[in-house]
Structure 1
């Protein structure tokens, strides 16, 4: 695998302005959307970052260069297929060899499909559980031993409000996100004595290309115009009546990686505009 940027010059000391200086972060599903926002937030706090995901190679390389130049940190890309258990473990190992052992793991990779259960393609069910749930398990399993050896680690699983409540037509996604919340709590209990925290961020609807696609799918499934789907489905139960922003999710994730969040573990934190407060 090609290393986009060298890890040379990675500093070891932390400062107040760059509290993650010297840390190494893997962010899966980070070539766009929420994952890229999280990667930028962590880089802005001084962490070396490994991006992962799909996209145009030239655009990804430009993203790596831009993040590195903007924040003066090493940034590299790893194209591991998150649906492949061996590839996920290899991502963690390549990061260790090429940048340094992972101190921060953000499991963000995810896909979606919307359909009634009786019409839900089994292959879509399998793919969603593999990428949205099993990939997080495989990455944690690979990264946790090193974190325990060093006595420090931050694991943040990007779940969803659908990890706490359900919606129609999203059987696989809801099942996977509920599973992520359960996995988060189990890892938190196992890792707490080793200076490692594990938390889940549960966004409500965030305006991203993934959500835009969901709006179109929901419109087709419900026979409604897209603006009505936004009003009646996406924002109906959200007291703020607006989509969350990528920046808000990124800031929450970065906080959970900070020293100030050292006693926060095993939490499924809604960032949903009050949706799950009902």
Structure 2
């Protein structure tokens, strides 16, 4: 039997948090597979740069500045995508940020910000995108959770709460939208070589009182079988698979890509 190609010709996708890191790799990978891509991010200059890279490679892309924690900006993001490409088929909820502090010192404004972007933002983007997918009776929602959506570490209470919530939301969504030809899955990466992770190294060093290199060796990679940071393109390849026809029978799943972290 012929294996379905991972091609997305004729589809239109939104990737949030796509100006750098994992989001940038996902946007580029979906664009290379034939999808028209809306590069969504608060970093407008970075979004434009990524969109230009996709177009230089022969793809179609637009850049839209959006704060995914705000319903009005999310609705504008989805509307811009549908107007530019005539459709809206794929949503990758990737926007995220981190703050490291013990619970008793965790600033309320940081808690609200992290939950607002990662959990509420995932809900808002999905709610706005679903009617377009339902009309076509085809859609893919891929939510970037984290290995910290499955396990916990100290000093990251807001991040871990949001990422656990994303998995619960994904499973609920999968049950609701299957009859419309839409799948919903979560991807749970371990530590990936991104600006977000590089920023965490300094934060963890400060909180634990140890050198930065020791953070990587004894905290970040200690539970992993593979003693290296993952590359953004590795995560993007899994997302491409979940968006393709090859994964049409997969929904409600949470896929770990964690270097063997949860094998223990």
Partner Cα distance (2:127, 2:231) in 1? 30
Q: Gapped runs of 5+ residues in structure 2?
A: none
Aligned counterpart, 2:128? 142
CA 263–17 in structure 1, closer or farther in 2 if over 3 Å, else same: closer
Aligned to 2:223: 237
CA contact (8 A) 1:17 1:45 kept: no
- Deviation of 1:17 after TM superposition, in Å, equals 6.4
State the Cα deviation string for residues 213-262 of structure 1 (Å, max 9, x = none).
10100100010111111111100000111111111000000000011100
The C-alpha deviation readout for 1:73-119, integer Å capped at 9, x for no partner, is 22100001112122112211221122222100000000100000011
Residues 1:251 and 2:240 aligned together: no
**Contact preservation (8 Å) 1:37, 1:247:** yes
Question: In the alignment, is the contact (CA less than 8 A) between 2:187 and 2:256 conserved in 1?
Answer: yes
Show the counterpart of 2:214.
Answer: 228
Displacement of 1:65 in angstroms is 2.1
TM-score (norm 2): 0.96
Q: Any residues of structure 2 matched to 1:121-200 within 5 Å, and which? A: 121-200=107-186
- The C-alpha deviation readout for 1:42-85, integer Å capped at 9, x for no partner, is 0011000000113362x543432221120x22210000111212
Alignment map for 1:43-122 (pairs within 5 Å): 43-55=31-43, 57=45, 60-70=47-57, 72-122=58-108
Q: How many residues align?
A: 261
- Residue 209 of structure 1 deviates from its aligned partner by 0.8
Report if the CA contact (8 A) 1:202-1:270 is conserved: yes
| SS across alignment from 2:228 | coil
Cα RMSD, aligned residues only: 1.3
Partners in 2 of 1:211 and 1:61 — Cα distance?
23
Cα pair 1:111 1:128 within 8 Å, conserved: yes
Q: Which has the higher contact order (CA 8 A, sep 6+)?
A: 2
Normalising by the residue count of structure 1, what TM-score does the alignment of the two structures yield?
0.91
